[in-house]
Each structure stands twice: as C-alpha cells, then as structure tokens.
Copies of this chain bind each other. A is one copy, B any other.
Amino acid sequence: MAQPATPFLRIDLVRLRANVRAMADLSTSSRVALRPHVKTHKTIEIGRLQMSSGAVGITVATIGEAETFAGHGFDDIFIAYPLWLHRPAARRLEDLASSARVAIGVDSVEGVAQASRLLGTSDIEVMVEVDSGQHRSGVRPEDAGAVADTARRAGLTVRGAFTFPGHSYAPGAGRASAAAQESAALAAAATSLRAVGIEPRVLSGGSTPSIADTDLDVVTEIRPGVYCLGDAQQWELGVMKPAQIALTCRATVVSHAGGRVVLDAGSKVLGADRAPYSTGHGRLLEHPDARIVMLAEHHAVVEMGDEAPPALGSKVDVVPNHVCAAVNLVDTLYADEAGALRAWPVAARGRNS
C-alpha cells in the first residue's frame, strides 16, 4: 500500500517479533507464565503473535477490551482491574465466560459482594489485587485473605492474587526496589490467602521496567505490556535500547519559522503523557540529541541539539513517551516489513468500559 499521510504510527515488524520472542524466552527459561497486557497495542494481530509465541492468555483492563479479543478467538482473558459491577456489566461478563476462561480483579469486600450478587455463573474466577507500593488500587497484602474469604463464601472461585508495581516507572534504583516490593507483596498475599485456607494458584505481577528484577521464584505469572513496542519512557529509563523500539510516529517537518523545527505530530497522535523523568514530549529515533520542547495538538517543536535541522517537508520518526496512549489515539497501525506496509486495525481502541 501507499505511504499514508503523516502523522501515522508505524511498526517495525522485525523489532516487534524480536521483542515478543525475547519476553517469551524469558518466561520459558524462568518457568513463569506470560500473560501480556494487550492494552498497549489493542490489536488482534499483535495479540496473536504473543499467543503463538507461548503466552498462556492475555491481560486486559476493561470488559470492552475483553469483548474485542474474545470476538477474535482469544479464550483466556484476565481483566486486571477492580471492576465495580452493575447489572449490564455482569451480563457482559457472563457472555464472555461462555466463550473464554475469564478472571476479574477485586480489591474490596464490597466489590466481591456486588459481584457475587450479580453474577449468575461461577465460571468467572477472581484475583485479589494487592498494593505493592504504587498506592493506586489494591488492598494491603495482609488483607488479601479477608477479600478472598468473602469471595469464596459467596460462591466465587479465587484464583490467586495480583499486583502492578507501577512505581517501577522511576529512574535509578527505583525499578529494583519496586520489583522487590512486588515480590514481597505477592508473598505476603499468598500467606494471607493460605491463612484462610485458600491456596493461590497464581501470583501475578510484572511490568516492563520491573521484570528484569522480579523474583521469579515468588511470581508465577507476568503481565508486561509495553515490552512488545517500546517507547521513550522505556528508552529514558534504560529498560529498552533505541534499536529495540518497534513503534514510531512518522511525521513531516512543516515549519522552520523562527529557526524552529516544527513537526505535524502533536498530542493528538503522540499523547500528552510526560513523566517526571521524561526529558521532553517524545524523542526522535534517529536523532538522540533532539528534544521535543513544546507539544500542541498538531505541533511538536523540536530542538535539534548540535545537528542541522531536517529540511522542510522531510520526514522524521518520533518515539512517543507512552506507547499505550499513542496507540489509543489512532484507528490503524501500519506494520512495515522491508518497506511493505500492512494496515492493522486498533480493534479495541477507545474500549474504556
């Protein structure tokens, strides 16, 4: 197919496959199950690549994402989110469970009670979310048993516990300490479950930055997402090298006004995420000294460092800060293999509920 108009998101298929393979190999050699989080790519073709490389199933964040993937034959889905169910959501989960093995997150006695009241099937398992230090959702590890016990008494099957060590998104020693807290939290959750007579079958953790430090003797399942595509956050954290980054936004230089370099890729295709450790609003893959110093909806203003500015009308490849946000802004990803492009629909784009 012809090159699409810029800005568009392009995937380097060789790099994508290498990233998927490397994580699959790590999980095999470490004897942990790999259940990649598909919220990163929301794309059936990439999910299939992950499954064919040995993933045990997929992780999603919403019922809508689960429905999209189940509709394409994915049959083992964990919704890693403390859902608060209402009647329509419970019906949707039951429909999902008719074609897939489904587990959902819970992080409160009240949420468990609500789920057990509304769910007409016991086929849906629950995973207790514990907080390993990010302080987002998740109960304290020592409280996991109380939530699990409520679930069991209400007739629900408890699969185990999970956590997201999101504070691994930190420079320096932050990754290793988050990974240590992750393992400690899951070990404590297991102790808490066993204290109420529930043997956890799964202790699930794992984010892309923390996996290298994860104690794979405690954790039985990992749920990385970003690893398959990479982004500027992983680059700047030192988790992935530029040569591993598989997704970029191809952009055109549209202005040199005032001596600036202005690209047609703005926050409506790159996303506005900017972590405290980020050095700008995204990076240029082939120009490591360049920084995006201003981002508007359709403009990126770039400082080139010591390099000459690229010519008006020329193309550059921008690495978004946070790939999950960028992918969720477009309807199509363009997979490039030796210059030939294939259009992959972002099938679960916008499925927020």
Contact = CB atoms under 8 A, between A and B. Distances in A.
A264 interface: yes
Interface residues of A, number: 66
Given A255-B107, A258-B131, A352 B269 contact: yes
A255 B137 contact: yes
Contact of A272 (B6, B82, B139, B273): B273
Interface in A203-237: none
B140 A258 contact: yes
A312 interface: yes
A299 B262 contact: no
A139 B257 contact: yes
B135 A260 contact: yes
Contacts of A140: 257-258
A interface SS class: loop
Interface string A323-353: 0110011110000000000000000001011
A91 B137 CA distance: 51
Interface stretch (A51-59, A182-190, A290-298): A290-298
A70 interface: no
A328 B267 CA distance: 10
27 contacts: A4-B353, A5-B63, A5-B88, A5-B89, A5-B353, A7-B353, A8-B353, A83-B254, A107-B255, A108-B257, A110-B256, A111-B254, A111-B255, A111-B312, A131-B257, A135-B260, A135-B294, A137-B255, A139-B257, A140-B258, A268-B325, A269-B352, A272-B325, A297-B325, A329-B329, A329-B352, A330-B350
Given A8-B352, A298-B352, 11 more contacts: A5-B88, A7-B353, A61-B298, A84-B313, A108-B256, A136-B260, A136-B262, A136-B294, A137-B262, A139-B257, A297-B325
